[in-house]
């Protein structure tokens, strides 16, 4: 199964201060998400979706991970 991706979303939140204290350096929180066409719509009850989910997950995971790493400026910039 190939996922039909409708939208990807990349969000970068930058925290400059928290709890009344200025951060020594800005903290960036990066999230990547995707909206997919529901491949199971209209199929009724499906006993086990795991095989189909596991077929899509690596492809989607690589796409979203690469988006986040690029937004961070490279894998060496990622702390957690």
Read off the pLDDT band of 3 (50, 70, 90).
confident
The whole-model pTM stands at 0.81
Contacts of 36 (CB under 8 A, 6+ apart): 3, 4, 5, 6, 56, 60
Nearest to 63, CA basis, from 1, 14, 10, 13 = 10
Instruction: Tell me the residue range of the domain where 33 lies.
Output: 5-77
**What is the predicted pLDDT for the residue at 1?**
59
Q: How many domains does the chain have?
A: 1
**What is the predicted pLDDT for the residue at 80?**
82
For residue 18, the SS3 value is: strand
Q: Which residues pair with 30 in a beta bridge?
A: 12
């Amino acid at each position: 199964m190939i996922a039909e991706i409708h939208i990807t979303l990349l969000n970068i939140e930058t925290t400059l201060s928290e709890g009344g204290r200025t951060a020594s350096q800005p903290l960036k929180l990066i999230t990547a998400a995707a909206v997919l066409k529901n491949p199971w719509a209209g199929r009724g009850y499906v006993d086990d979706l795991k095989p189909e989910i596991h077929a899509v997950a690596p492809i989607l995971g690589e796409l979203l991970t690469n988006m986040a790493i690029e937004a961070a400026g490279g894998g060496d910039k990622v702390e957690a």
